[in-house]
Structures are given as structure tokens and as C-alpha cells.
Amino acid sequence: MESVAFASEPDAGAADSHNLTHAAADRVAVPTAAAARKTGRTMSSPYPGQTPNIAGGPSNGYAAVPPGVSHPGPASAYPTAPQGARPPAPPTSHIGAPELAGLTGGDLTPELVQTDIWSDQMVAAAGIPIVDVPFVSVGGGIGSFVTVDYLRIAGIPTNQIRILSNIDKPWQTYEYLTRVSQIPRSERIRSDSASRPDNIWGFPSYALEEAFKDKSLKSLWQVLVEPIWADFYTPRAGMVFQNLEREAKRIRYWEMLVKGQVRMVRRRHGGGYFTVLTPPEGMASTKRIAYRSQYVHLAVGYPGLKFLPELQDFRTKNQDFHHVVNAYEDHEHVYTYLKSRPGTVLVRGGGIVASRVLQRLMDDREKFGLQTQIVHLFRTYVHGTHGKHVWLRRKGGNGFAYQGFNYPKSVWGGQLKAKIRKLEGPARAEAYKDMGGTNTPWRRRWQAQMNAGRAQNWYHTLEGTAESVAVGPDGKTLSTVKVGGGQRTQISADFIIDCTGLQADITEHRLLADLIEHSGVGRNPVGRLDVERTFELRGTVSGEGRVYASGSPTLGGYFPGVDTFLGLQVAAQEIADDLARRGFCHRIGPVRSISQWLKWATNQQI
């Protein structure tokens, strides 16, 4: 996540760079030359912020869906407000606007694809229209939303910001993933009471809001006595999404959103960057549009689903996406089948997603009187408390490592945050290894259900390594598992649910892979994007321009816990503070903070 010199006039380039910030936002530069040959390239992996590729194969940038199911792809290049919200009128320089009418071609040329630093003339010669805007955020998920929320509160108007995304709502992907991993809106997510992506101040907390709405002190009592006499308080998913929608309307999020697929980000001669957008088919006169900006923010999330090798081999060889599924795919058919007849499910993985899948299976068994048999395969079976020493230990048992949240709470504002901010190289990698690992919260209900399953002989646990999966003589899946002592056993199951998570390799993401190849971006000690303490992406400086990154691709940097609500807010605050130092926005000091909180509390639009 590298440079070529071109013959050009430095003074003109410097002037253009200056104009990126001070000229009117969204000024469209109409190209003067026709486009070169179209490349016709397609996405080889899912784009951040979209629903995963359910069919399991490559797509053209939008998720594939099972036969007979219509895809809810974007019908317009313009912002789509949630139901009940009035869609804002799009700015005149958005794609499909009169300024772009009549343009032809406008695609990437071999010269552009192979060149690290682009000049304005190269882009114009390719027939690609240019839109000027100071700040561009790529992704459109919660990472983009939180960063833009900070900038709006810091005084940046909507016409100075563009969010490039192929989703309609910032919580859309997160809600999809929580729903298919068995956390509907009525259930609770794994997040702290004060970790509010819709509220940079964290006050009032989710627990306080819930107490007010429910007219009950139960949530406040739970926060008071957690985790000794009660489980950690966590908010309901529905409340999180409702509050995100409220804040999105308040900051006029949909005025900043532009729909499309971001293909690449390249440095610009004279400073700044070109972010290349592929708009939805039929929504623009050219295949690509280039956003020329002083600052770029990348919040692209995970590149796609992660499958265990033997499960991916089975799906590919047998073209069977029905009996072997990922927990982050829509797999409701598994639970529907089990309601109609007895069956066996093999669950793979030992984290929070596996816990939620197990609870759904057990809830259905209890609620509908089912005869479902559950086999739970652990690669590493945790027998009890474990860790390097007495001050670095995690509880565990029955195969699971237990921890209330993704990371120890001190990574967000305690000794671990301070410690890792000072570490470099191998020492930082070792610190991440010490506090990492798959874990799940200890919840009383889950424990009671699993204990009942063991006692009644319908929940079975096994430690081992699966070597292969095939179709058995009875048509069911047949897994060959290597257990202790080198022995092998076979597990027959109607369904296998892979709960091992999402793909973390940044090179699997097309945008990040291109950035690594064509800029000076390096990898941090754990192999992901190397960022400064301000979340500036190292190696991408272009004149006065800067690229920032937040979220899961930056794990391994100076701040842990990046892929959490509070972690995204910490990153956004660091980015906003750095931009304030550069003169792009106001610093959020005490006076601005108080006045802006009052506007938030009264739901006053900004």
C-alpha cells in the first residue's frame, strides 16, 4: 500500500495543487481529448462495504446472489436516503450532471494503469472527466461515516467532502454481517456502552439512552455492576442503526455520497491525488470519473470472506454453496431445513461468530423442539485460563477463550494504548500477538445452553485439524479430521458452517493492492498498512496532499483496536486533529465541542 517523473511545468502544477483546497468544490474539468481503448477489467474480489460474494466467485464489483434472487444494486448514482428521509438534490457536478453530458470514452489507458504519478494532461487525454473536491473518503461504511462526522463537526461544509461508495447507507454492510451472523436488530452487538459512532462525545451512553427509552434502570444497574455480578452491557443492534441514521441526516450525509466503485488512487504531479471512480452502468457518459483532491481517506474494511482451504476446495470442486457456508453469508436455509427434519451441523471456529451461530441453533432447538445434533470442531481447544504471565492472562474453558470485547479495554485509553504507541518493529508485532487471538464474551445464557447440550448428548466438541471435506455415500458432507496422537476420524454432517471470519490479507483488496504496487506504501509489523500515529499512510505524501487510512487494514499500527466503533472514532479524531494542524478544518476545542454537542443533543442539522 511507489514514482515516475514527467515533463511538465512545475509552477502550473503547484498552482493546481493550491487550488484543490481554495477553489470552489466539485469544479468539473472537461477533458479535451477522446478516450483511449477501454480496458474492460472487472473486480476479482468483493469491494469494501458491499455484501460478500455469496456465490463464492469473482464478480464485477457487486456481490453475486443465488439464482432467482434479484440484486439490490444501486439504481442511481445519486445518494439514496433511507426510507422516510427526503433525498437531497445532487450537486450539479455529480455524475450524470449537465457538465458531463456528451462526453465519450473516458476509460483507463495502459499508460495510466502502468504509471505511478499522473499529470492532469494524462487524465484529460484519456477522456476522463475530473471533479475537484478537497477531501475524498473511500468506502462509505462506518469508518467513512465517523471520519466525515468529525469533519462536519469541525466546520467543513458538505461541498468540500465526497464519500465514494457502492452502498447507500454507512451501516448497510455492518447490518448485513450482523444479521447473517445471527445478530438481528433485536439482539445485542459486542460493543461498549460509550462506544457510539453516532456521538463523538459518548454521552449519553447507550445504557443511559436505553434506560430512558425503556423507563427502566436495568441497563444502568448492569453497567454499574459489570462484569462481576452481570455480563458486560452491550447495545441492541437496532438502536445502533437508528442512531446512525439520525446522525447521518443531521450532518447531511447523503449530500456528500457519490455511488460507484473506486478503482484506484494515484498521486498527482504538483500534489494531491486522483481517485478513480467507476459509476454504476448507465449513470454517466464515461466509464470512469477522476476525483482530484488534496486529501484522501481510505476506510475500505475487509476485502471479503475468509474460507478454510478444505472448505473452499469443496465448494469449488462440487459447486456446492448450500451445504458448506460461511457464517457471514446469508445461510437462513440451514435453520429452515433443521426445522423440517432432524439434522447434524458441524460448526468450525471458536470466536464470537461461532458463539452466535451456536446460540441460534440451540435457541431453535429449544423453541421448536428440534432434534438437531451439533458437532463443534476447535482447531485449538482452550481448557482454562491462559497467557504468558499473571498480568497477561485470559480466562477460558470448554474450548473458548473468554474476553468481554475484541481487545482488553486499556487499548482504547489505558496502559496498553500508551505502551503500543511507543513500540516499533518486532516489539510491536509481539505485543499484538500477546493480546490477539480468537475470543468470545462469557455469557450466562450461552454457558447454560452448552452445559445442557453436553449433558443431553446433542452438543459435541472436538479438537483437531480438518484435512479434507467430501461428499459421503449418503450425500452428506464428510469431513476427515486429524485429532490427537495422529489419529483420524470422520464427521458426517448435513451442513458445515465456517465461523473463522473475514479475509484480512490487504493484497486481496484490489484498491489496496494497486496502492501498494504504485506508491511508497509499506506494511506494518503485522503485515497490514503502515500508518503514522495520525493515521497518515506512510509513503503516500504528494506535495501538500496526504492519504489517511482507518479500520481493519491498519491493524498492527500504533493504536490497537482499530476495527471497533471506538477505534474508528479514535482514528477519526487523530485524522481531524492532523487536518486542523494543516489548516483544513477547525480544531474541536472546548467551546466548539460544547456548542456542537448541544446541536447534537437537540438534533440540529449542521
- pLDDT score recorded for residue 10: 29
- pLDDT score recorded for residue 413: 81
What are the extents of the domains in the chain? Answer: 10-165+261-303+507-601, 175-243, 307-383+439-500
The answer on pLDDT for 16 being more than 80 is: no
The answer on pLDDT for 103 being more than 80 is: no
∠ Cα 510 139 499 (to 5°): 75
Q: Assign 403 a pLDDT band (cuts: 50, 70, 90).
A: confident
Mean pLDDT for the stretch of residues 48-77: 30
Tens digit of pLDDT for each residue in 471-495? Answer: 999 999 999 999 988 899 999 999 9
Return all residues near 524 (Cβ < 8 A) that are at least 6 apart. 428, 530, 531, 554, 556, 557
Mean pLDDT for the stretch of residues 200-217: 95
User: Dmax over Cα atoms in the chain, in whole Å?
Assistant: 79
- pLDDT score recorded for residue 25: 36
Mean pLDDT for the stretch of residues 425-441: 87
Tens digit of pLDDT for each residue in 373-400? Answer: 999 999 888 888 877 777 778 888 888 8
Mean pLDDT of the chain: 82
Mean pLDDT for the stretch of residues 498-504: 79
The answer on pLDDT for 553 being more than 60 is: yes
Q: Are strands 386-389 and 488-493 parallel, antiparallel or unpaired?
A: unpaired
Say which CATH superfamily domain 307-383+439-500 falls into: FAD/NAD(P)-binding domain (3.50.50.60)
- For residue 552, what is the DSSP state? G
The answer on pLDDT for 80 being more than 70 is: no
The answer on pLDDT for 85 being more than 60 is: no
Give the CA distances from residue 139 to residues 153, 199, 297, 550, 595, in Å, rounded to whole numbers and listed in that order: 20, 20, 9, 10, 29
- pLDDT score recorded for residue 405: 79
Q: Assign 146 a pLDDT band (cuts: 50, 70, 90).
A: very high
- pLDDT score recorded for residue 394: 83
Tens digit of pLDDT for each residue in 253-285? Answer: 999 999 999 999 999 999 999 999 999 988 888
- pLDDT score recorded for residue 290: 97
User: How far apart are the C-alpha atoms of 20 and 269, rounded to whole Å?
Assistant: 13
Q: Are strands 130-132 and 27-29 parallel, antiparallel or unpaired?
A: antiparallel
Length of the chain: 606
Mean pLDDT for the stretch of residues 74-78: 33
Tens digit of pLDDT for each residue in 281-302? Answer: 888 889 999 999 999 999 999 8
Contact (Cβ atoms closer than 8 angstroms) between residue 259 and residue 78: yes
Look up residue 348 and give its amino acid. R
Mean pLDDT for the stretch of residues 124-130: 95
If one compares 506 and 60, the residue with the highest pLDDT of the two is 506
Q: Which of 270, 29, 269 is nearest to 133 (CA)?
A: 29
Mean pLDDT for the stretch of residues 499-519: 87
Mean pLDDT for the stretch of residues 141-160: 98
- pLDDT score recorded for residue 59: 28
If one compares 84 and 60, the residue with the highest pLDDT of the two is 84
If one compares 30 and 217, the residue with the highest pLDDT of the two is 217
Q: Are strands 465-471 and 477-482 parallel, antiparallel or unpaired?
A: antiparallel
Q: Are strands 261-268 and 502-503 parallel, antiparallel or unpaired?
A: unpaired
Return the CATH number of 10-165+261-303+507-601, one of 3.40.50.2300, 3.40.50.300, 3.10.20.520, 3.50.50.60.
3.50.50.60
**Does residue 560 have a cis peptide bond before it, meaning omega lies within 30 degrees of 0?**
no
The answer on pLDDT for 65 being more than 70 is: no
Q: How far is CA 53 from the centre of its chain?
A: 15
Contact (Cβ atoms closer than 8 angstroms) between residue 205 and residue 155: no
pTM: 0.81
Q: Which of 10, 515, 46, 509 is nearest to 274 (CA)?
A: 515
Give, for 66, the enclosing helix (H) or strand (E): none
Mean pLDDT for the stretch of residues 331-347: 97
Tens digit of pLDDT for each residue in 353-373? Answer: 999 999 999 999 999 999 999
Q: What percent of the chain shows pLDDT beyond 70?
A: 82
Task: Using the structure block, give the residue that is written with the C-alpha cell 463464492.
Answer: 56
The answer on pLDDT for 90 being more than 80 is: no
Mean pLDDT for the stretch of residues 538-563: 94
The answer on pLDDT for 75 being more than 70 is: no
The DSSP result for 479-494, as a single string, is: EEEE-GGG-EEEEEES
Rg of the chain, C-alpha, whole Å: 25
Asked whether the domain spanning 307-383+439-500 has the same topology as the one spanning 10-165+261-303+507-601, the reply is yes
User: How far apart are the C-alpha atoms of 459 and 355, rounded to whole Å?
Assistant: 13
Q: Assign 2 a pLDDT band (cuts: 50, 70, 90).
A: very low
Beta strands in 444-570 (DSSP E): 459-463, 465-471, 477-482, 488-493, 495-498, 502-503, 546-549
- pLDDT score recorded for residue 386: 76
Q: Assign 308 a pLDDT band (cuts: 50, 70, 90).
A: confident
Burial class (CB in 10 A: 0-12, 13-18, 19+), 529: buried
User: How far apart are the C-alpha atoms of 606 and 604, rounded to whole Å?
Assistant: 6
